[in-house]
Amino acid sequence: MLDYLLARVREVDELDGIHLVTNSRFAPLFEDWAPEDVIVHDDGTMSNEDRLGAIGDMSFTVERAGLAGEDVLVVAGDNLIGYSVPDFVAFWRGKGGSALALHQCSDPALLTQYGVVELDDEDRIITFEEKPAEPRSDLAATAAYLYGPEHLALLDEYLAEGNSPDAPGNFVAWLYPREPVYGYRFSGEWLDIGDHEQLLEADGRMRERAGLPRRAAYTPD
């Protein structure tokens, strides 16, 4: 999964480094796997009870890797990305501020599991609601974000206010009323394999591409 994701990320010409953050339980496995251009960061936690959360891990990695003052692309490891990451970067560079990738979703039930976004005529976010009972648009926020250094520096302020350190969309929900954040509506494949049904669908698509039949249930074999 990560090899596939990194192949998409490495298409970005401006890429200076790749940082992967995980916990102490799994860090040795990722260190054994990591290619030469990937730096693995162990956040020192062991369980859900002491985890830093996705936003906490972002802040941890920025400090640990010395990324303050840099432009940063953040992608969750369970994103199966088929769209062009360079196009996403080009969109963001044309807008400034920060940006997130948006998937047009036709399933209202599935939309309730994600952050749902409304955009103005310039693609700037005007509403962002996490897991709404009644979605106001069909644009679902995927866990792929681009931050300039000015916005990345606001992570500390966000956490110092006592806001949730988990769910990366929470930082965007806090950020967009304060600073310009734009939505990149991509065309192309995207699946969130953290969802069991989408994991099975991803498995089926990949098996078909390899000339294998789809399966009725997912197994890691």
Residue 74 CA to its chain's centroid (Å): 6
**Other residues' Cβ atoms within 10 Å of the Cβ of residue 8:** 19
Under 8 Å CB-to-CB from 35, ≥6 apart: which residues? 6
* pLDDT 10s digits, 121-168: 999 999 998 888 899 999 999 989 999 999 999 999 999 999 999 888
Confidence of residue 82 (pLDDT cuts 50, 70, 90): confident
Mean pLDDT of the chain: 92
Q: Could you give the CA distance from residue 157 to residue 155 in angstroms, rounded to a whole number?
A: 5
pLDDT for 213: 95
Alpha helices in the chain (DSSP H): 2-9, 27-33, 54-65, 85-95, 108-111, 149-152, 155-160, 169-175, 196-209
Under 8 Å CB-to-CB from 19, ≥6 apart: which residues? 38, 39, 41, 61, 65, 67
Rounded to two decimals, the pTM is 0.90
Angle subtended at Cα 96 by Cα 94 and Cα 98, rounded to the nearest 5 degrees: 120
Gap between the terminal Cα atoms of the chain = 14
pLDDT for 78: 87
Decide if 181 contacts 96 (C-beta within 8 A): no
Confidence of residue 62 (pLDDT cuts 50, 70, 90): very high
Structural domains in the chain?
A: 2-188 (3.90.550.10)
DSSP state, 36? Answer: T
